[in-house]
Amino acid sequence: MTAPLIGITMGDPAGVGPEIIVKSLAAMTAPQRQGIRIYGNRESLDAAETVLRTGLDIASLDVDHVDIPGPLPAFGKLDSRCGEACYQFIAHAVRDALAGSIGCIVTAPINKAALNAAGHHHDGHTGLLAHLTGIPSCHMLLASERLSVIHNSTHVSLRDAIGRATTERVLATIRAGHRHFLRLGNPAPRIAVAGINPHCGEGGLFGTEDDDQIAPAVAAARAEGIDVQGPISADTLFHRAYTGAFDLVVAQYHDQGHIPVKLVAFDTAVNVSVGLPIDRCSVDHGTAFDIAGKGIADNGNLDHALAYAARLIAHRKP
């Protein structure tokens, strides 16, 4: 039996999404391309190929085409039409993933301002995918070769992130990361939970959230048989994880987790949505409007995301 298709959503047509998709597909063999379906706009892919001149036959690709009204959006320009197109690309891919006709969605970058300008008020892919699949929320996991981080909160203010570091939510994040690593074949993932305050509050001198909220979540997870430690001061934890002490770190907020991963794996980290009823992973970079349409965008991150998607499909239970 052949593996299910991987569906690539094109992301913002004015960004680098069309270019990196064309570059990645041009480097594949024809049989490899047969395992890919693109959710996007053919004219945008044609425009990217005109810039890149890879020789890829765009007409031969499996494209779930979405029209963009009016003239083709210019590369590098914020356009609400692109926000609407992004939404439709993702909605079509989710529809097919829920139906089982594609095995994993790989998303190219969207522009949150364009998405909201089109009337779709979500904080990014993670919130939008949760909305489209009918679940309250899911978790963002950044995966790289030597450092993987799952986030307790992402696109909220730091003030709100502290409020979300409840015992229940931290425990749910630990469980989600544990299940994900079990699925990928790790029988006993080693998880560490980052503290939210400097030095985990230093016995209450710098805040009590670590003692009152995070430590009980770790204790509850350990009682369930999960190999988890914490809270551990974030200023040392990520180095320990990077050098092999842990398989996964639970970060309490966006920058706490994103900064170390992007420092050590800027071009290779993959963004994974954990807890959805479908599989989705993504490049870990933005639309790069400043270089869009110049033919210089690097598709390496997309290649890593496609490889991770294939891994998720291979480890799916029948």
Structural domain range at position 226: 139-266
Strand partners, 273: 140, 280
| Confidence (pLDDT) at 126 | 84
- Domain for residue 35, yes or no? yes
Residue 271 lies in a domain: no
Domain presence at residue 227: yes
With CA atoms as reference, report the closest residue to 72 among 96, 93, 51.
51
The residue from 266, 287, 306 where one domain ends is 266
Mean pLDDT of 204-209: 90
Q: Does residue 258 share a domain with residue 153? A: yes
Residue 1 has pLDDT above 70, yes or no: no
Count of the separate structural domains present in the chain: 2
Q: What percentage of the chain exceeds 70 in pLDDT?
A: 99
163 and 129 in a single domain? The answer is no
* Least confident residue range of 205-219, 281-295, 304-318: 304-318
Q: Is residue 222 part of a domain?
A: yes
Check if the beta carbon of residue 192 is closer than 8 Å to that of residue 249.
yes
Residue 81 lies in a domain: yes
Same domain, 73 and 83: yes
Find all residues with CB under 8 Å of 215, minimum gap 6, and list them: 230, 231
Given a contact cutoff of 8 angstroms between Cβ atoms, the answer to whether 245 and 190 are in contact is yes
**SS3 call for 40:** strand
Is position 85 within any domain? yes
Neighbours of 67 (CB within 10 A): 10
Query: Quick one: 127 and 147 in the same domain?
Result: no
Let me know whether 42 and 171 are in one domain. Answer: no
Rounded to a whole number, what is the distance in angstroms from the first to the last CA of the chain? 12
Q: What is the largest CA-CA distance in the chain?
A: 64
Please check whether residues 288 and 183 belong to one and the same domain. no
Please say whether the beta carbons of 113 and 124 come within 8 A: no
* 180 & 246 share domain: yes
The domain that contains 198 carries what CATH number? 3.40.718.10
- 286 and 232 in one domain? no
Clarify whether residues 120 and 144 are in a common domain.
no
Over residues 225-245, the mean pLDDT reads: 97
Segment 104-154, tens digit of pLDDT: 999 999 999 999 999 999 888 888 999 999 998 889 999 999 999 999 999
**In this structure, are 61 and 86 located in the same domain?**
yes
Of all residues in the chain, the percent with pLDDT exceeding 90 is 89
Same domain membership, residue 245 and residue 163: yes
Residues 6 and 130 in one domain: yes
